[in-house]
Amino acid sequence: MAGKSPEEEHPIKAYGYAALDQSGHLTPFKFSRRATRDIDVRFKVLFCGICHTDLHFIKNDWGFSQYPIVPGHEMVGEVTEVGKSVTKVKVGDKVGVGCLVGSCRSCDSCAEDLENYCPKQVLSYASPDFDGTVTYGGYSNEMVCDEHFIIKFPENMPLDGGAPLLCAGVTVYSPMKYYDIAKPGNHIGINGLGGLGHVAVKFAKALGAKVTVISTSDRKKDEALNHLGADAFLVSRNPEDMQAAVGTLDGILDCVSAKHALLPLIGLLKTHGKLITVGAPAEPLELVLSPLNMGRKMIGGSYIGGIAQTQEMIDLAAKHNITADIELVAMDQVNTAMERLAKGDVRYRFVIDVANTLKAP
């Protein structure tokens, strides 16, 4: 684009909240987005979920953050403009964008609709884009995105409670399908009842599995059984309960990101049982291999999901009335929400009411 200034290349004036340094404090911020290309969809952001990843990024917990960062990878909104070759959506449609806004579209992973495993994937924020700019996320008023990465929201899907599914939902749904653990006749465990775990319970039930929630205390027992629809509740710090449950589970989805013991979980698995991790503990976990060998058990991992599967997940969620349980917050309350998230003080996901509370700076 020689000869064009950044303003000409990126004529869409946008604003949002950004972290400017690793204090992580979010503050009003003006920027611009590219003009809508033939393959792009432009939409007005209505809601954006707050994911724990956002907190890690703005605080530079992983050591590679580059500022300014406009976070947000659980954004939903209403289409305001479509490029001339766009076929997926039209103006006025409700749409979402999750963690991905680009991939190479030609590698083996992309060919299998697994853009999430593409080595050249472009994340929705703080990620180098193909045009040399850095991506800005959904804590903002406007979004422009390649239609391939747009998720269509069915009419009956609430936009606020649906937003977190774009990351948390597909993170738990994808491994349930790939490892074939959540299905009628199977009994699975969900370890950890937070932002990921609470939607995992809902999807596992919708897919027909019997579900046991595994948690360190019985604090969330009533909620798990009577509100989220789990069939049983297991306190991992109660040795008698754990002993009684040995060898009863076909699979476990491990949603815990703090350091924790794997051996008791492996013990809960039946022969051929699968322990699938989606959390990302910063420290290595200890693993003794013989209990795997003794039951031909396996441990596997998973990371978000491809675009086709994200759409499948949203459509299934709409059919079964699955949403995340959320606390709606105003844009100018985002720093308080981040402080509470850091302490685990949220049931179960914060969502920013972007359209009603984000003011032009």
DSSP calls for 85-104 = T--S--TT-EEEE-SEEE--
| 242 scored as a contact of Zn ion (CB under 5 A) | no
Closest distance to Zn ion from the beta carbon of 4 (Å): 28
Output the CA torsion sign for 278, 107, 83, 360.
positive
Q: Which stretch binds Zn ion (CB under 5 A): 57-65, 108-116, 222-230, 268-276?
A: 108-116
Residues contacting residue 153 through CB under 8 Å, at least 6 positions apart: 76, 93, 94, 95, 96, 159, 162, 314, 318
The contact mask relative to Zn ion for 57-96 (x = CB under 5 A, - = no) is: ----------------------------------------
Residues contacting residue 189 through CB under 8 Å, at least 6 positions apart: 211, 212, 213, 214, 234, 249, 251, 252, 253, 265, 268
| 225 scored as a contact of Zn ion (CB under 5 A) | no
252 phi/psi in degrees, rounded to 5: -130, 130
145 phi/psi in degrees, rounded to 5: -150, 140
Specify the residue, 167 or 252, whose C-beta has the smaller distance to Zn ion. 167
The contact mask relative to Zn ion for 150-169 (x = CB under 5 A, - = no) is: -----------------x--
| 107 scored as a contact of Zn ion (CB under 5 A) | yes
Residue 200, SS3 per DSSP: helix
Unique residue bearing structure tokens 């009684």: 244
Specify the residue, 95 or 249, whose C-beta has the smaller distance to Zn ion. 95
Closest distance to Zn ion from the beta carbon of 242 (Å): 30
| 253 scored as a contact of Zn ion (CB under 5 A) | no
Closest distance to Zn ion from the beta carbon of 294 (Å): 36
- Single residue of 76, 79, 86, 110 touching Zn ion by CB under 5 A: 110
Residues in the site for Zn ion, rule: CB under 5 A?
51, 53, 103-104, 107, 110, 118, 167
